[in-house]
Amino acid sequence: MPQIVFLPHPKLCPEGAVIDAPAGKSLCDVMLENDIHIEHACEKSCACTTCHVLVREGFASLGEANETEEDLLDKAWGLEAVSRLSCQAIVADTDLVVEIPKYTINQVSEGSH
Instruction: Please state the pTM of the whole predicted model.
Output: 0.90
What contacts 86, CB < 8 A, 6 or more positions away? 26, 27, 28, 31, 38, 40, 51, 52, 53, 98
Amino acid 43: pLDDT = 93
Residue 106: the pLDDT is 63
pLDDT mean by block of 10 residues, the chain; 113 residues: 96 96 97 96 94 98 96 94 97 97 66 39
Torsion of CA 80, 53, 93, 59, to 10 degrees: 0
Supply the pLDDT for residue 76.
Answer: 92
List the domain boundaries for the chain: 3-104
**pLDDT number for residue 113:** 36
Top CATH class of 3-104 equals alpha beta
